[in-house]
Amino acid sequence: MSTVRLASALLALAVCSPAASAQLTRPEQAIAQAVDRRNAESLALLERIVNINSGSFNLAGVRAVGDVLRREYDALGFTTEWVDGAPYARAGHLVAERKGTGPKILLIGHLDTVFEPSSPFQKFERLNDSTARGPGIIDMKGGNVIILQALKALRDAGRLATMHIVVVLNGDEEESGDPMMGTRSTLIEAARGAAVAIGFEDGAGDPKTAVIGRRGTTIWKLTTTGQAGHASQIFRADLGAGALNEAARIINEFYQTLAGEQYLAFSGGLALGGSGVKLDSTLTLGSAEGKTNVIAQQMVITGDMRTISAEQLARTKERMREIVARNLPKTTATIEFIEGYPPLAPTDGNRRLLAMYDRAAQDLGTGSVAAVDPSRAGAADVSFVAGIVPMIIDGVGLSGRDGHSASETADLNWLPRQAKRAALLLSRITDQQAALPRP
CATH code for position 379: 3.40.630.10
Decide: 140 and 110 in contact? Cβ < 8 Å: yes
Co-location of 257 and 353 in the same domain:
no
Decide: 223 and 299 in contact? Cβ < 8 Å: yes
Co-location of 44 and 147 in the same domain:
yes
Co-location of 272 and 316 in the same domain:
yes
Co-location of 8 and 25 in the same domain:
yes
Amino acid identity, position 124: F
What's the domain range around 261?
Answer: 222-339
Closest CA to 111 of 88, 131, 91: 91
* Rounded CA separation 278/273 (Å): 9
Domain count, the chain: 2
Whether residue 439 is contained in a domain is answered as no
Amino acid identity, position 175: E
- For the whole prediction, is pTM greater than 0.85? yes
Q: What is the pLDDT of residue 13?
A: 46
Co-location of 240 and 203 in the same domain:
no
Decide: 114 and 176 in contact? Cβ < 8 Å: no
Q: What is the pLDDT of residue 5?
A: 52
| SS3 at position 275 | coil
Q: Please say which residue of 293, 319, 339 terminates a domain.
A: 339
pLDDT tens-place string over residues 108-132:
999 999 999 999 999 999 999 999 9
pLDDT tens-place string over residues 407-438:
999 999 999 999 999 999 999 999 886 433 23
Q: What is the pLDDT of residue 435?
A: 39
Co-location of 48 and 125 in the same domain:
yes
Decide: 296 and 230 in contact? Cβ < 8 Å: no
User: What are the Cα distances from residue 95, in Å, to 274, 295, 389, 393?
Assistant: 50, 57, 17, 20
Co-location of 81 and 187 in the same domain:
yes
Co-location of 66 and 114 in the same domain:
yes
- In sequence order, the 6+-apart residues with CB closer than 8 A to the CB of 111 are 54, 62, 65, 66, 69, 91, 93, 94, 144, 169, 170, 171
Q: Please say which residue of 313, 339, 365 terminates a domain.
A: 339
pLDDT band at 60 (very low <50, low <70, confident <90, very high): very high
Question: What is the pairing mode between strands 209-210 and 370-371?
Answer: parallel
Decide: 162 and 430 in contact? Cβ < 8 Å: yes
Co-location of 285 and 353 in the same domain:
no
Q: How many CB atoms lie within 10 A of CB 159?
A: 23
CATH of the domain at 246: 3.30.70.360
The upper half-sphere exposure of residue 255, i.e. CA atoms within 13 Å in the direction of its Cβ, equals 8
